[in-house]
A = this chain, B = another copy of it.
Amino acid sequence: MILEIAQIDIKQGAEDEFEDGVRKAAALFKRAKGCKGLELQRSIERPSRYRLLVQWETLENHTIDFRSSADFQEWRKLVGHCFTQPPAVEHTQLSVKGF
């Protein structure tokens, strides 16, 4: 299982619109091949910064299957105008499951 961690900075005042867009987009991710979970976390220290956490079965389910899909275009249409800059995306794998 792969965890996508996308750091997303939102234009001031566009936070509610962005959150609404993510709520709508959840259905796109849910039907994406290999997508197993999605949540949006909002920074306490910097409230216009978010972390979108998405679980994928494989790295390619995100980087190839999803990014080349029509639903990716739809996702960006829903929220892309709220971004101050392109999201900083990283992928991780579980190294230690504490508890």
**A→B interface (CB under 8 Å):** 2-3, 5, 19, 22-23, 26, 29-30, 37-46, 49-51, 59, 90-99
Contact = CB atoms under 8 A, between A and B. Distances in A.
The secondary structure that dominates the A interface is strand
A44 B91 CA distance: 6
Contacts of A39: 94, 96-98
- Please state the number of chain copies in the assembly: 2
The 10 lowest CB-CB distance pairs between A and B, nearest first, are A38-B98, A41-B92, A26-B98, A40-B96, A42-B95, A44-B91, A40-B95, A22-B96, A43-B92, A30-B99
B30 A93 contact: no
Contacts of A99: 26, 29-30, 37-38
